[in-house]
Every structure is written in C-alpha cells, then in structure tokens.
Structure 1
C-alpha cells in the first residue's frame, strides 16, 4: 500500500514537531471501562429553535444528531465519579486499591482545587495520587493514558484510573452557530492494571504539537484576566476556526497513526480497533480513507453524543470493551487531536 502524502515517513521535515517512541516492557491491560451520559438530550431540531441552522446542515457537516447537556447544578467532577464507578466495578478494583487517578478535561470544576482531588475524595480513593491533564484539550486523554502507562512501569503501581470528561456546554456561547451544534457533555473512564501477558500494553506512540490559536478560550487566564470587559465580549467562550481544524486534523492524524503503527512493527490496516476522539464524522472518515482502514474498526459515538472533548475516545473504547469485543491479543489504537494544536496516537495490545 502506498500512503498518501499526508502519511509522510517518520523522519520527514514536516514532522519535526512530532515525537515517536517505542513501547514499554511492563505489560498492562484495560481491566474495566465506564461511561456517564447526562440524561438531558438536545436534538438538532431543538437547536434550530434558537440557532440559524438546520438538522440537515448539522448532520451533513458533523454527523451529529443529538448531544447531552449536564444539569446546571452539577459539574465535571460529578460526571467523572459517575463514569468511574462502573469502570471500577467492571475491573473488580476497589477505590482504595487505586494507585493513581488521572482526570483529562479542559472544563475543570474550578481553577483550584483540582478536579482530580475532588474525584479522589468522592470515590474514597485515599491512597491514590491525583493528577489533572488539561493542556491538550480534546487530546488530553491520550496524554493521560500515556502517563498511566509509564506509572504502571513502577513496581509499586498496580492500578490507574483514567477519566476523560468535559462539560463543553459551560464554555459555549449560547448563540454560537458552530460551537453550539458540535459539543456535548459526557465522561468516560478506564481502569488500567498490571498484567502478566508478555507483549501486552503500550507498543508505541506518536505525540506532536504546533502552536495555533485556531481553537481557543482567550479569557480568564493571566494574559486576559476575568473582567467586566471579557465577560461582555464573550472571551470566556470557545472560538473555533473550522477550516484550520479540518486541515490540521486530516493531515496530522493520518501521519501520527502511520508513525505509531510503523514503530510498533505493524500497519494501519493491521490494527484490530481504533478509538478516536469523536470530533467530526467527516474528519474521522477522511482519516480512515487516507489510511485505507475499514470503517467498522472505528466505533462512532458522536452521532448521538456530539464532540465530548476528552471523553470522546473513552466513549468509543467503552463501546467496544463493554460489549466484550476487545479481546486478549487484540491490537488497538487511541488517537486524538485537540486545541493548541496537540495530537497523538497510542498503539497498544490487550492482555
């Protein structure tokens, strides 16, 4: 198979901002997954009442038909806990047995204290190290799983809970015709635990970044602190340049997958499962097309959940794992792109 130009070789000049690495010797496995979806469903028809759009426009450009909205009295940590509990039950791991909890989210409950500590307290995971990953936005789940994989190389670490959760409805301008149709609220969780199967766990990875303000929340930081002016101007809401996202995603994701699978001694078509950040059906379709990957290897959840940020790839993982289709010996790829831009691919084998 000849890869398209977007899938350039590992050492091409265009990949100077990407780091591709090998696997890790200590095996681990997906021991259990969990999912939480807020009960409130917002359909495309619902959105047309307040936004200048149509069901046909939304579906054709995004693949999304409905999304969830978190109740106003709840926060991201509530979704995290609700997704973590079934994941722990499926893994047969008690909260007290967790060595670490890593929360991937760009919509923290508040600046301080960290959402991961709030989740740790709520679960009663008293001995767990608590960590947050927010810098990679929708790709933070990739960084979180990579961190968990490295923690599991330590003999004292046996089980790590990774949660991807975002409440994007809190950072979307109500009248935003673009952001308002894309994003949904959800949380997905996975328990990764030590395994005995030689060759399982992380086989390889590819992580990259390149500064861009195409997707940003400019207000509320040290450069533009919260003020009456930032509130009036809507600087605390997400702004997004759709064409820039398309160009970056459809270039970087195929490159990253090609590099990671190559480093693992595999090919993109030889991977059993693909768990993508659920960004946009057309971005996913173009990525699969460029790598000649059969569509049935990549479960889609965005049609009924929307773009759920860092939760997206975990909702896809849960769809396969909870149904028993992630079997021992299967290879799988986790892949995402987020604001910044950050992108990354993990190539793994289930124990």
Structure 2
C-alpha cells in the first residue's frame, strides 16, 4: 500500500455546556446511575441547547482546530462535514458551516449515512483531497446531536448518546515516512441500528410520528457482537497494510461507543488498555465526533509525538467500519 503524505496539523473540540448526569436521566427513565455505569461506563454526557443546531457545534469546533494548525479561514480549500444529525435534509450542512465560517472559496462535502463511522470516512476523503492536490488544507469536522434523535422514553438509546463536535485540519506531510500509512474499510448490511422513518421508504407522516419511527432504534447485543469483532479486525488489517504490528502503535483512537466495547477491543488486540484514551465516560457516545474527541485529547495534551504511529478506528450503523493508520 502506498502511503499518503498527509498529516493532522491541528485539532479542536466543542462540547455543549449542558451536562446531563445519569441521575438526571433516572428521574424520567427506568434506570439508575449504577445500571448505566456498569453496562456502558458512561457517567454523564452533553446535550445541545434547543435553539442551536449541529452546524453551530461544527463552527465552534472548527475555530480551535484552525488556530492549532496556524491556518486562516480564508486559506481553507475544502470542508468535509461528517454527521447523521444534519441541520435539515437540504441544504448541505457543510455549506452552512462554510458560510458561517467565511471560508468562501472552500469546496464542501457531506458524509452522512455511516453514523459513528462518518468521521473516519471524512478523514479518509480529506486525506485523498490533499494527496491528489485538489486541496492543500482540508478542514474535517465531525459532529452529532444525538439528543435530537434518541427517544426520551427509551433507556436503550437515551442513556448512551451525547452531543459534541470535533475538527481536524489536514495538510501535506513533508517528513519522509510520515502520513497516512494504511487503511481498512468494511461493511455488512444490517437494520439493527436504524432510524426507520423520514426517508423515501417511510416518508414522514402522522403515523410514523405516532409510532416513534423517527427515533434511533438499536439492538445492543448485535452492536456488541459486531463492534467487538470488526473493530479489532479492522485495526489489524490497517496496521498490516501499513507494514506495522499493533505493538508498533502508540495510540489507539477508537470509537467511543461504550467503555466495555473499547476495553474488549483492546483486549482482543492484546494491547495495554492505557494506549486507548477514553472520553466516553464523561461524554457518552457522540457518534461521528467520538473518535475526534479522543484524537483531540491526544494532540492537545501533547501525548502524540513526532514519529508516533497511531490508529483512528470506528464502526457505525449499517454496519460500516474503518481504520486509518498514521505516523505523526
């Protein structure tokens, strides 16, 4: 596999200020703090204010990422937005973000239907744009407002998800041996995680709303089985294509679906758990943004050093999954 000379020049994150604890959820759901922590590792999550939308979080995450990269808004050549909770079906959320930022010459792309894997797909697309010369600086933003699509009466989904946005600026890598060294993507069709209504098969109407078919539905057992099988396998495939083993990888930025899933994936890989930073305990599953929250943690805290190999890996509804293996 031919490496792509692309690097992450800066990262940023935006978290809504409203902190929703497990005890707060237990006031309206048949659940408890102990039940949620034991099954998910989640203690709290953030919810977006009712008067704001996903694009607002995107803009807020973009500014610190651009600042960290030393990149002015006017110099952004392309914007890729990853979200399954777009502002509205039309127009493009990426275009809304572009206008709000004032990045008037940027190309815009939306990645929308891989759910929690959107962010990895967006990073891959951004890397290809840089590699082909179509863009010198690509702003990749992943954000989701899952509080808008989870049923307030369903503890199966309501306790898992939170709202957040993360961003990364991609540019060309000039140091030999660095960049995107390998990648792996896969999929297998499943309706075990879905939002049934709102599309052409089940258009929005009185019946679909009454039946609560516009909310996210999730089979937790299938998610566990698929994630703990496919995430480690994808990491192994991507590192092998990069000419590395998992022992060579310093940081594992994994989808923050559930603390137990992250731990099970690391155990299956045979890698110490402390190589995988965690944000799910205080943010919940933030969908497309999940891998960006841990990526930002690694970059902003200075734990990712020049020469370090790291992977970014996620799985989402569909099921679709993917892994990118970089060297900083």
**Contact 1:269/1:291 (CA < 8 Å) preserved in 2?**
no
**Contact 1:23/1:205 (CA < 8 Å) preserved in 2?**
no
**Cα distance in 1 for residues equivalent to 2:247 and 2:313:** 15
| Bigger shift: residues 67-76 or 150-159 | 150-159
**Contact 2:190/2:319 (CA < 8 Å) preserved in 1?**
yes
**Cα distance in 1 for residues equivalent to 2:67 and 2:232:** 35
**Cα distance in 1 for residues equivalent to 2:113 and 2:9:** 26
Given candidates 121, 127, 137, the residue that maps to 2:99 is 121
Hey, what does 2:288 align to over in structure 1? Answer: 310
Please report the RMSD computed on the Cα atoms of aligned residues, expressed in angstroms. 0.8
**Cα distance in 1 for residues equivalent to 2:138 and 2:9:** 10
Hey, what does 1:76 align to over in structure 2? Answer: 54
For the pair 1:37 / 2:18, whether they are aligned, the reply is no
Offset of residue 75 of structure 1: 0.2
Deviations 1:47-106 (A, max 9, x none): 110000011110010000000000000000000000000100111101110111000100
TM-score normalised according to structure 1 size: 0.92
Q: Which runs of 5+ in 1 are unaligned?
A: 1-21
**Cα distance in 1 for residues equivalent to 2:111 and 2:36:** 30
Instruction: Figure out how many residues of one structure are paired with residues of the other and give that number.
Output: 328
**Cα distance in 2 for residues equivalent to 1:195 and 1:270:** 20
Offset of residue 156 of structure 1: 4.8
**Cα distance in 1 for residues equivalent to 2:6 and 2:239:** 19
Offset of residue 199 of structure 1: 1.8
For the pair 1:106 / 2:98, whether they are aligned, the reply is no
Hey, what does 2:297 align to over in structure 1? Answer: 319
Hey, what does 1:348 align to over in structure 2? Answer: 326
Q: Which runs of 5+ in 2 are unaligned?
A: none
**Contact 2:7/2:180 (CA < 8 Å) preserved in 1?**
no
**Cα distance in 2 for residues equivalent to 1:31 and 1:259:** 25
Hey, what does 1:210 align to over in structure 2? Answer: 188
**Contact 1:142/1:345 (CA < 8 Å) preserved in 2?**
yes
Q: Secondary structure at the match of 2:230?
A: helix
